[in-house]
């Protein structure tokens, strides 16, 4: 595949077990040209995210992709990690070696702006983390919009949340940043929990990856074994663990959008303090309701919301790519 046919992408991540699965896939798929990777506080602190990201790239034998440190906390909220899910170090406490490489000598927003504007073809942004860096980019350098093809972000939920009953972690962590993203004025795909939780690698495949003698495939297996398909389904025998692809599904959606069923719907983010803060309000009504009839229509950004996914197709794509 020539460079002219590969899709230029930038991943903004909070590596994180499933962000690591996404990175392993992205750097190995021939259709993707990963121009940069930017890091933000989320699953763990931003310096841990930088360390984990560089470690994953080295374990994968990835080319020298620039990695930059971004926001160390959300725009308004204090940082609230997900270490209880991803382990103290954010990488399932696998004890991986420290990376040999240093991050870029510029910050994430500067690297994002530089690589987006320098790309000969419009860039697809793939945030798999709280959207703080993306919001800062859009507010600091709005001119980048002219060279962004689409933003495919892992975040939000049309139905059930995880961080709260109604809010997904990445949006809940920085709701204001998510609201800024949604008004970016570029095509947006929301790869939310409605599909995120469904893409699961069967236990037998996880076992095979864990036994691989190729470091990147073996790391994928170890990470998948850390991500039981359903948190309350940790079997006594770890070899019986199926593993959720998580963020990696959003990258699969960039490579193979036909595997995702999306609906173009109005999406709002609840910013009010209280039990709905961080909720993505996806309007699936067939027609306006009394609120519009009596109070007028509120213009909400239209987002391509993923409501269904071909699980087998994405699992097959992921395994074929990571195992090579």
Residues of the shown chain interacting with Ca ion in the complex, contacts defined by CB under 5 A:
14, 16, 19, 128-129, 247
Q: Does residue number 169 form part of the binding site for ligand RIB (CB under 6 A)?
A: yes
Q: Does residue number 178 form part of the binding site for ligand RIB (CB under 6 A)?
A: no
Residue 168 or 174: the one with the smaller Cβ distance to ligand RIB is: 168
Q: Return the closest-CA partner of residue 60 out of 91, 89, 25.
A: 25
Distance CA 43, CA 41 (A): 7
CA angle, 107 as apex, 101 and 112 as ends, to 5°?
Answer: 100
Q: Does residue number 162 form part of the binding site for ligand RIB (CB under 6 A)?
A: yes
* Burial label, 151 (beta-carbon count in 10 A; 0-12, 13-18, 19+): buried
Considering only 28-36, 141-149, 163-171, 302-310, which stretch makes contact with ligand RIB by CB under 6 A?
Answer: 163-171
12 binding partner (options ligand RIB, Ca ion, none; Cβ < 5 to 8 Å by kind): none
Q: Tell me, residue by residue from 24 to 63, as one string, x for binding to ligand RIB by CB under 6 A and - for no binding.
A: ------------------xx--------------------
- In angstroms, give the least distance from the CB of 42 to ligand RIB: 5
Considering only 12-20, 111-119, 206-214, 275-283, which stretch makes contact with ligand RIB by CB under 6 A?
Answer: 12-20
Residue 114 or 178: the one with the smaller Cβ distance to ligand RIB is: 178
- In angstroms, give the least distance from the CB of 223 to Ca ion: 12
As a 3-state breakdown, the chain gives helix, strand, coil percent values, each rounded to 5, of: 40, 20, 40
Q: Does residue number 16 form part of the binding site for ligand RIB (CB under 6 A)?
A: yes
Q: Which residue has the tokens 């076992």?
A: 207
- In angstroms, give the least distance from the CB of 61 to Ca ion: 22
Q: Does residue number 19 form part of the binding site for ligand RIB (CB under 6 A)?
A: yes
Q: Tell me, residue by residue from 179 to 218, as one string, x for binding to ligand RIB by CB under 6 A and - for no binding.
A: ----------------------------------------
By the 8 A CB rule, do 14 and 41 touch?
yes
Distance CA 43, CA 128 (A): 11
Q: Does residue number 14 form part of the binding site for ligand RIB (CB under 6 A)?
A: yes
By the 8 A CB rule, do 136 and 34 touch?
no
Q: Give Cβ neighbours of residue 196 (< 8 Å, ≥ 6 apart).
A: 154, 244, 246, 247, 249, 250
Q: Does residue number 79 form part of the binding site for ligand RIB (CB under 6 A)?
A: no
Segment 232-291, which members bind ligand RIB (CB under 6 A)?
A: 246-247
**Residue 285 dihedral angles phi and psi, to the nearest 5°:** -70, 145
What is each CA distance from 233 to 91, 194, 195, 236, in whole angstroms? 20, 19, 19, 9
168 binding partner (options Ca ion, ligand RIB, none; Cβ < 5 to 8 Å by kind): ligand RIB
CA 168: distance to chain centroid?
Answer: 12
Q: Does residue number 168 form part of the binding site for ligand RIB (CB under 6 A)?
A: yes
- In angstroms, give the least distance from the CB of 200 to Ca ion: 17
CB count in 10 Å sphere of residue 93: 12
Q: Which residue is nearest to ligand RIB (CB)?
A: 169
Q: Return the closest-CA partner of residue 36 out of 121, 145, 125.
A: 125
Token pair for residue 100?
A: 């040999």
Q: Does residue number 170 form part of the binding site for ligand RIB (CB under 6 A)?
A: yes
Q: Which residues of the chain form contacts with ligand RIB (CB under 6 A)?
A: 14, 16, 18-19, 42-43, 82, 128-129, 154, 162, 168-170, 246-247
């Amino acid at each position: 595949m020539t460079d002219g046919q590969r899709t230029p992408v930038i991943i903004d991540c909070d590596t994180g077990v499933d962000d690591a699965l996404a990175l392993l896939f992205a750097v190995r798929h021939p259709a993707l040209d990963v121009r940069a990777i930017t890091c933000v506080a989320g699953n763990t602190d931003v310096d841990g995210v930088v360390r984990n990201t560089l470690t994953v790239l080295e374990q994968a034998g990835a080319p020298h992709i620039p990695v930059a440190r971004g926001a160390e906390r959300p725009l308004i909220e204090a940082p609230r990690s997900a270490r209880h899910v991803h382990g103290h170090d954010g990488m399932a406490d696998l004890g991986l070696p420290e990376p040999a490489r240093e991050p870029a000598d510029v910050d994430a927003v500067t690297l994002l702006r530089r690589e987006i504007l320098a790309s000969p073809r419009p860039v697809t942004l793939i945030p798999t983390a709280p959207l703080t860096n993306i919001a800062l980019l859009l507010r600091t350098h709005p001119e980048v919009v002219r060279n962004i093809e689409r933003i495919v972000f892992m975040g939000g939920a049309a139905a059930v949340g995880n961080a709260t009953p109604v809010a997904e972690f990445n949006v809940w962590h920085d709701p204001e940043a998510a609201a800024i993203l949604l008004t970016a004025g570029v095509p947006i795909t929301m790869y939310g929990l409605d599909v995120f939780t469904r893409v699961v690698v069967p236990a037998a495949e996880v076992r095979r990856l864990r036994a691989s003698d190729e470091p990147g495939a073996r790391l994928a297996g170890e990470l998948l074994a850390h991500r039981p398909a359903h948190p309350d389904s940790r079997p006594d025998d770890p070899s019986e663990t199926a593993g959720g692809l998580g963020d990696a599904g959003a990258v699969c959606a960039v490579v193979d959008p036909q595997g995702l069923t999306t609906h173009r719907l109005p999406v709002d983010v609840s910013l009010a303090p209280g039990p709905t803060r961080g909720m993505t309000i996806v309007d699936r009504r067939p027609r306006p309701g009394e609120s519009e009839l009596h109070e007028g229509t509120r213009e909400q950004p239209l987002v391509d919301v993923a409501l269904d996914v071909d699980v087998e197709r994405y699992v097959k794509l992921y395994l074929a790519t990571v195992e090579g």
